[in-house]
Structure 1
Amino acid sequence: EIVPAAMRGRMYGINNIIGLLATTTALLAASWILDELTGLSRFMMLIGLGVGAGVLCVLLAFPIPGGAPGRLRETAHWAAMREALADRRLVLYLSYTALTMVAMQIFSAFVPLLMKEEIGLPSSRIVLLEVAGSAVGVLSSYGWGWWSDRRGTRPLRLVLLLMGLLPVLWMLLPRQHEWSFFGALIIAFVAGATYNGWWITDQRMLYVDIVPEERRTEYLALYYAWIGLVGGCGPLIAGPLLDASADLQGRWWIVPIDAYTPLLVGSILAVASSFVLLQRLRARLADTPPPLQRDPHVA
């Protein structure tokens, strides 16, 4: 309701920069408090700061324009959501998103364990990898938003190609080697740009190309329910798979084989399937007119 469709990519980029900087500042402040204070008081202070920040957030949200209720409809909500599921574009989008999210959950949850247990990096250097990824995310966010505003869904193809390349690079990373950290650092740079690029370009496609202005309630209800379900099921599937392959050891040509190899191979397959679905979705978007988006500056 507030941001015109023509500049939503840049808005997501700026919003992502602010979010990453705020998160980094909060983590640094929390780390300092935990180091300087002792006993239960340090945790009480962190909880108090969190509650205060939440209250301030609510107060600052009151002046934001928009949010008025939509027009009253006679159609039942369940029937409206069934009608939304009849939209082939939405079904393709939800399918592609699910596969991409599963791959990203594997990356975020299990790659730090891979770095520690197989690559041999200490915890302090693993934290540096996360900081490096966040730094690249801040630097690249506006560029992704600017590109998606001008090229629509085209940047998503590059994002998914990079995302599919990440597991290959992790599998080829030398184990227990003096150059392991520098190789992991380069991959962290690519991963940081890729993660943020996917979120920015994907969200722009959702709100500009998929969701119609007059039916956003049922479309977004389905979207948030779906990503919540996928977000909860992904680790439940990946965790038992990692346990089942715990004793896997070996080597295939130049690729080390270990307990994390099935997860990384599975993530490659998930991203490849996601890329195919994205291509089908882009073809369908090209054949159908985009949903009507109201200009917030026009009364």
Structure 2
Amino acid sequence: MPAVEDPLPPTTEPPELSDEAKLRGLPWQLAQNVLNAVFASLTVFGSVFLLFLDELGLPKTQIGLLLSLMPFAGLLALWSSPVATRLGRRRVFLVCWTARKAVVAGLLLLPWVMDRYGHTAGLMYLTGIVALFSVLRSVAETAWYPWYQEVIPNRLRGRFGANSTVLTTIFTCIAVVVAGRVLKTSDGLDGFLLLIGVGCVIGLVGTAAMIPVPGGAPRPDAGARGHLANMLGCLRDANFVSYLAGFGSMTLGVLSYLTFLPLFLKDRLGLAPGTVVTMETAVMIGSALSALLWGRAADRVGSRPVLMSAAALLLLIPLGWLLLPRQTPHLLLLCGVLYFLHGMAFIGCSMGAGRLLLNGVVPPAQSTAYMALYYAWQGLVGGAAPLLAGALLQAYEPWEGHCAWFALDGHAVLFMLAAVLIGLGWACYARVRPDDRYRTRDVLHALTDRLFHRLR
């Protein structure tokens, strides 16, 4: 493969960490990943928070707007990335990661605000909490991505991601099951507030686990003066632009239907809120059972064959929801299968795309500019998805038709749109350079030959 010239000149970096120092920090990172996943599932991410907003009586457009604040805040990365590099990525991450738990704990006062000052004041208070949380999360994750690239050895990135996925899945699965039981046995907002309070405590413990992790040292020479020019230089990298196109299209497709999928199960399929929350365990089981396979495959044959195979499977999931019969005695089983397959496909895409980004697309010496653009783009498309989905559902809410055994409504429109966007993302990812010597077709050809050889 011919050498590709870097579009940016290298910048001064601190001395590289030894593999021994990196390995010492891996258990602490695993602990943080597990505890943060539990915090997220009990507070402002996943079905619990979506059902919490629905319990407050918010229309879908307002829910979409609130959910879009978190990813849209990622645009702050264009400004905060050089600041975090100059002050120290580790320091900025720990401060903002801790502060966001305190902000989320402010949701515990929401019933008091609504009782004392009214529903409108309560909605403004809720919006303020979500907005402040989103800013802190954006700044923290902008610092975390380059730090994460620094402290994980490339040769272990796939296996570390797989082990992290398995552990986070197990503990998040337990948290989701407990959350479902709590919501089934509680009335109104009481169960949601209990889960949020417990989640904040767990999140603080997870942040403390990151203190022993090395790296992320300050770089006083990293200023904002040349940052814009560096980012413009990144956009001249055709490989990076192809990656962003694939990531953006696939993210928009998945989130456009996945954001409101719990409400689809509750409102259109008639499942109880506790059952909807518990259904997420099927996603986690699918992720856990396939993560080790995806991770080992990525370390062995490269990231792109894993990414392309998982994305092809992911394309089938919204089509499955579209064709799902809504009146069937096997509804729970079919929903569980689709959630399970989504878990398998999504974790394969996440691990493949993440490893490809860090091992093959982003030069470590220019990670500040590259990761700032990546995170800002992630925020832009991630914020657009719930807005698009909420607007479409609101527009098609009074309209419903039938074709054969499946219904045609706003959710059906989202499922069809998602399939198109995921297919477009797959095509864009196909243009990204492999990070290893194997191409997807070579891997599939080798697997097919091996399979036929064993059958003879």
Match of 1:291 in 2: none
2:299 equivalent to 1:149: yes
Is the contact between residue 401 and residue 407 of structure 2 (CA under 8 Å) also seen in structure 1? yes
2:228 equivalent to 1:78: yes
Pairing of 1:130-279 with structure 2 (within 5 A): 130-152=280-302, 153-252=304-403, 255-279=406-430
Opposite residue 56 of structure 1, the aligned amino acid is V
How has the CA–CA distance of structure 1 residues 275 and 141 changed in structure 2, closer, same or farther, with 3 Å as cutoff?
A: same
Match of 1:10 in 2: 159
Cα distance per residue 1:19-64 (max 9 Å; x no partner): 2233334445556777889999988876664454344333322221
Is the contact between residue 310 and residue 349 of structure 2 (CA under 8 Å) also seen in structure 1? yes
How has the CA–CA distance of structure 1 residues 233 and 40 changed in structure 2, closer, same or farther, with 3 Å as cutoff?
A: closer
Is the contact between residue 282 and residue 337 of structure 2 (CA under 8 Å) also seen in structure 1? no
Is the contact between residue 180 and residue 278 of structure 2 (CA under 8 Å) also seen in structure 1? no
Opposite residue 76 of structure 1, the aligned amino acid is G
How has the CA–CA distance of structure 1 residues 260 and 57 changed in structure 2, closer, same or farther, with 3 Å as cutoff?
A: closer
Secondary structure of 1:139's counterpart equals helix
How has the CA–CA distance of structure 1 residues 245 and 218 changed in structure 2, closer, same or farther, with 3 Å as cutoff?
A: same
Cα distance per residue 1:65-86 (max 9 Å; x no partner): 2222459468711111111111
Match of 1:117 in 2: 267
Most deviating of 219-228 and 45-54: 45-54
1:192 shift after superposition: 1.3
1:17 shift after superposition: 2.1
Most deviating of 95-104 and 63-72: 63-72
Is the contact between residue 118 and residue 176 of structure 1 (CA under 8 Å) also seen in structure 2? no
Opposite residue 102 of structure 1, the aligned amino acid is L
Opposite residue 62 of structure 1, the aligned amino acid is I
2:255 equivalent to 1:105: yes
Opposite residue 84 of structure 1, the aligned amino acid is C
Is the contact between residue 239 and residue 431 of structure 2 (CA under 8 Å) also seen in structure 1? no
Secondary structure of 2:214's counterpart equals coil
How has the CA–CA distance of structure 1 residues 89 and 170 changed in structure 2, closer, same or farther, with 3 Å as cutoff?
A: same
How has the CA–CA distance of structure 1 residues 180 and 54 changed in structure 2, closer, same or farther, with 3 Å as cutoff?
A: closer
Separation in structure 2 between the aligned mates of residue 102 and residue 210 of structure 1, nearest angstrom: 21
1:160 shift after superposition: 1.3
Separation in structure 2 between the aligned mates of residue 194 and residue 132 of structure 1, nearest angstrom: 13
2:195 equivalent to 1:67: no
Separation in structure 2 between the aligned mates of residue 115 and residue 147 of structure 1, nearest angstrom: 34
Match of 1:292 in 2: none
Percent identity between the two aligned chains: 31
Is the contact between residue 318 and residue 419 of structure 2 (CA under 8 Å) also seen in structure 1? yes
Is the contact between residue 181 and residue 274 of structure 2 (CA under 8 Å) also seen in structure 1? no
> Pick from 40, 54, 58: which aligns with 2:207?
58
Separation in structure 2 between the aligned mates of residue 154 and residue 100 of structure 1, nearest angstrom: 16
Q: Which runs of 5+ in 2 are unaligned?
A: 1-149, 438-456
1:156 shift after superposition: 1.2
Separation in structure 2 between the aligned mates of residue 260 and residue 47 of structure 1, nearest angstrom: 29
Opposite residue 416 of structure 2, the aligned amino acid is V
Is the contact between residue 176 and residue 277 of structure 2 (CA under 8 Å) also seen in structure 1? no
Secondary structure of 1:281's counterpart equals coil
Separation in structure 2 between the aligned mates of residue 34 and residue 175 of structure 1, nearest angstrom: 24
Secondary structure of 1:237's counterpart equals helix
Scaled by the length of structure 1, the TM-score of the pair is 0.83
